[in-house]
Structure 1
Amino acid sequence: MARQEFCHSFIKELKIMFHIKLNLACSLIITLSATSVADEIILMNGDILQGSQAEKTDSHIIWNADNFGNLSISLDQVRTVNGVSISNTPIEISQSIREEAPLASARRFFGESFSGSTAAFGNMSSGNDERNEWGLDSEISWLKEDLRHRSALGYENKSTDDNQSAVEYRLSHSVDWFFKDTWFWSNQGSFGANDNRAIDKFYTLGSNIGNQFWDDDEGSLLAETGIVWISEAFIDGTKDDRVTMSWSSDYRKLLFKQVGLSHSHQLLVAIEDPDNTQLSADIGFDFPLINNLFTKISLEWTYDNQPVEGVEKIDRKLNLGVNYSW
């Protein structure tokens, strides 16, 4: 009973937070649309000049700076205008650039590498089978100097005709320090719960060495290995604390210049009991709809060779939803 009350309370609080954030986002968008957006140019040396673009030639941009008047700036010294590369910008700053001002503001705070995605999926059935399922997945990352931050949030709710709700959620954050070229030292933590696997709550802390083999507009690949401490409290009252060896990878590739392919996995092997092993993997495709909106299809697979009593070793899940990326 206490578990059900916690789940219902958590879902209620999540919906309230979602509506608050949605209202704040709408207010911000309306405010930015109703007011003029100050133009801003960022130079290669990091200098930021407020003002407006007066003219652009093949080699220079004439910038009417608020504090210095008209300046003639070589294009190879310009990084962005309002967060957008100057390379293909027309003489007048287009309306599309102004519409990207909120994202440009976020990138000025988090850094030029700020990126992320949000996916929503769900289904509802009625008749002989009364069931509702919905979920959200969100990821963001940003790089400041030698530190990269990666955050992820996942939430899923399933309810059946007998009003039984199964909740799964996970929140994680990692900080990667690039100490040499593409090599980095990563420290991460996460917490969550998974009713489907009878896990009331879990916590993880890990430290890994990884390599970012490549990361560009066409795709990316990273691999990590290290030590992860896991603490799991099960619904039946039992608990499992263990230190594991971890190996994980994340691969993304743009196919035919428009279809996104993604694959990731993580293998965990307990140091004191190598037979206690977990493997999770997923593969997905993003098919373009409009602009940065995609139809997302993904298959998730989880294997646990020592699950709690009454739980199957293997879980499979096929998701179909909508994904927005930036």
Structure 2
Amino acid sequence: MSSRTLLCLALGLVSVPVVADTVWLKNGDRLTGTIKLFDGGKLLLQTDYGGAIAVKLDKIATLQSDQQLLIKQDDLVGEVAKSLQPAESGKVTLLNGDAPKTVELASIEQILRPKPVVQDLVWSGNVDVSLDYEEAENTTEDYDLDFKTKARHGQWRHIAEGGYNREFKDDTKVTDNWDAEYSLDRFLDEHWFWQGRLEYKRDRVEDVARQRTVGTGPGYQFWDNELGAFSLGSLLNRTDYEYRNGEKENFYSLGMKWDYNRYLIGKSVELFTNGEVGKPLDSVADYSLDAEAGLRYKVTEWASLNLKAEKEMVSGGSDGELDETRYSIGFGVGW
């Protein structure tokens, strides 16, 4: 039976020019398109006739692709194959320049397009918008806009992010602020990088009217691929405050930043969290925390719905304790 299967596949490959990746199903059907991802027991195939199609692993007989793909058979070890060639049902052959290697499809946990640190240009980002209107004892209107974008060229990575928040209660403005941040990372090897960071915040309501932060320090990129990324960074920061009454102060602090995102269920759901925890060196405050976490559900290739929680805390500050939590539901676009 296996010889017949191989003969049929060989004849099919000879008679039909290969112009796309091919997935053969156990029921005899054949799908063509571009393999985007395999994770969670499903293969995501991008087609020009049906969009993104998710195929269960137990329905697949074998695969063919001329793409360079990363094949992971466990969480730690992966092998980059220059191409995939069909084999008998339930298996696939990896071609990587050495002797061909045939593996069980059931042994594969992930198939990803490799994303090396050194490449010409990779650009991604998203913009999230949320509007909230509540009419009760107090009428509340809340507008929130956030953006984040990353661009990598060679061993350099640029990260820009920011946000704007405005809130009214009974036609009285109680929140009106915006912030912007730019980070520049220089990768020293595949994982380690050195970061420089500049952040500016402007508030038209609170006592602290302006805040500027400059920081630098090492970081470590655990992974960065089609399924997401995770990095940690440690920074030595100098922060300058300018109060509404004209007074100024500055202090130094140590900070730890994290940035994590992970795609689930065939890249239709994204789990994300990022933020920074800091400790002032001159004991102005015990610690500070500025973080967010949430979920994005992709409605289309570029549009998504998002659910997000944001937390800001300052413990033992000279102006008293701060503990604020905000929840929002909104709409976003990504690229």
| TM bucket, shorter chain | 0.5 to 0.7
| Whole-angstrom CA distance in 1 between matches of 2:269 and 2:232 | 23
What is the CA-CA distance between 1:236 and the residue it aligns to? 4.5
Aligned to 2:297: 287
Of the candidates 131, 139, 142, which is equivalent to residue 122 of structure 1?
131
Aligned equivalent of 2:169, options 160, 167, 172: 160
Matched, 1:186 2:215: no
Matched, 1:316 2:325: yes
Corresponding residue SS for 1:154: strand
User: Residue 237 and residue 274 in structure 1: after superposition, are their counterparts in 2 closer, same or farther (change >3 A)?
Assistant: closer
Unaligned 5+ segments in structure 1 are 1-55, 61-86, 91-109
Question: CA 1:174–1:59 in 2, change beyond 3 Å: closer, same or farther?
Answer: same
Give the corresponding residue for 1:278: 288
The alignment partner of 1:291 has SS state of coil
Higher strand share: 2
**Bigger share in helix:** 1
| Rounded Cα–Cα distance in structure 2 between residues aligned with 1:290 and 1:58 | 28
Residue 140, structure 1, aligned to residue 139, structure 2: no
Do structure 1's residue 260 and structure 2's residue 260 form an aligned pair? no
CA distance in 2, matches of 1:260, 1:141: 17
Superposition map of 1:206-217 within 5 A:
206-217=215-226
Q: State the Cα distance separating 1:194 from its structure 2 match.
A: 3.7
Which stretch shifts more, 254-263 or 143-152? 254-263
| Offset, 1:261 | 0.3
Is the Cα contact below 8 Å between 2:285 and 2:318 reproduced in 1? no
Question: How many percent of aligned residue pairs carry the same amino acid?
Answer: 17
3-state secondary structure, aligned to 1:290: coil
**Structure 1 residue matching 2:137: 3-state secondary structure:** coil
Query: Does the aligned pair in 1 maintain the 2:174–2:205 contact within 8 Å?
Result: no
For structure 2, list consecutive stretches of 5 or more residues without a partner in the other structure.
Answer: 1-15, 21-44, 49-118
Are positions 1:246 and 2:255 aligned together? yes
Instruction: Give yes or no for contact 2:285–2:317 (8 Å, CA) kept in 1.
Output: no
Aligned in 2, Cα 1:216/1:141: closer, same or farther, shift over 3 Å? same
Amino acid paired to 1:215: D
Q: Do structure 1's residue 171 and structure 2's residue 180 form an aligned pair?
A: yes
Cα distance per residue 1:99-146 (max 9 Å; x no partner): xxxxxxxxxxx9531111000011123463222211111111111111
1:242 and 1:270 in contact (8 A); partners too: yes
More moved, 290-299 vs 155-164: 155-164
8 A Cα contact 1:189 1:206, kept in partner: yes
Whichever residue aligns with residue 166 of structure 1, its letter is: T
Distance in 2 (alpha carbons) for counterparts of 1:112 and 1:180: 17
Higher alpha-carbon Rg: 2
Shift in alpha-carbon separation, 1:254–1:88, aligned structure 2, 3 A: closer
Q: Is this contact kept in 2: 1:149–1:174, CA < 8 A?
A: yes
Distance between the aligned counterparts of 1:159 and 1:291, measured in 2?
A: 34
Q: Which residue type is aligned with residue 180 of structure 2?
A: L
Q: Aligned-pair distance for 1:240?
A: 2.9
Q: Cα offset for 1:178? A: 0.6
Query: 1:233 is matched with which residue: 219, 242, 246?
Result: 242
CA contact (8 A) 1:198 1:308 kept: no
Q: Is the 8 A contact 1:176 1:186 kept in 2?
A: yes
Aligned length: 225
Question: Are the structure 2 counterparts of residues 312 and 132 from structure 1 closer, same or farther at C-alpha, using a change threshold of 3 Å?
Answer: farther
TM score, norm. by length of structure 2: 0.61
CA–CA separation in structure 2 for the residues paired with 1:235 and 1:274: 19
**Residues 88 and 260 of structure 1: CA distance in aligned 2, closer, same or farther (over 3 Å):** closer
**1:163-199 superposed Cα distances (whole Å, 9 cap, x missing partner):** 3352121111111001222111111101112456532
Bigger shift: residues 210-219 or 236-245: 236-245
Taking the aligned partners of 1:314 and 1:207, their CA distance within structure 2 comes to 27
Tell me, in whole angstroms, the C-alpha distance in 2 between the residues paired with 1:167 and 1:58: 57
Q: Secondary structure at the match of 1:269?
A: strand
